[in-house]
Copies of this chain bind each other. A is one copy, B any other.
């Protein structure tokens, strides 16, 4: 049963006895998404986080010119949510959808609170995950200030080698912050220089 994947992921950070594992699993809801299915639309209230068992999701915003900007990819074993909306209770800024057919486990906000209450060590688990996410986001802020688009692309290739070939180039462009045309040129140059 592939729910084992999330237990394995959790056990890397906190140790759970059998009862705690069962309780955690009982709070999760399995869901299948087809490619392009939405988990969250901008303007909705985000009431859950999702753990990706297979496939890949993305979180993105759409600016006033209709251009998409990708905040996060979530391949296998990643969590994804609109943290702003989840925490504040305000409408989501982000859209979350599936880039390919995906299987996910959903943890609702209320079940997450229950989990903290009943198994407080999950505070630690999510604190560490969020710390890692903060470190990554802060580094991305600095990269945007410091690096050229080409350097950001090279860094993306090193950080997410598995995504380079599985995700459409257009999506990576929307993450790096360049047009798809510039992305093509940059990728060709990058491969030539390797």
Contacts and interface: CB of A to CB of B under 8 A. Distances in A.
A123 B127 contact: yes
Of A83, A138, A177, most B-chain CB atoms within 10 Å: A138
Nearest to A128: B87
A141 B83 CA distance: 14
Contact of A141 (B88, B120, B131, B140): B140
Contacts of A139: 84, 93
A135 B94 CA distance: 12
A184 interface: no
Contacts of A146: 61, 63, 69
Contact of A137 (B93, B132, B138): B138
Contacts of A141: 71, 137, 140-141, 144
A134 interface: yes
A61 B61 CA distance: 28
A130 interface: yes
Contact of A123 (B83, B124, B142): B124
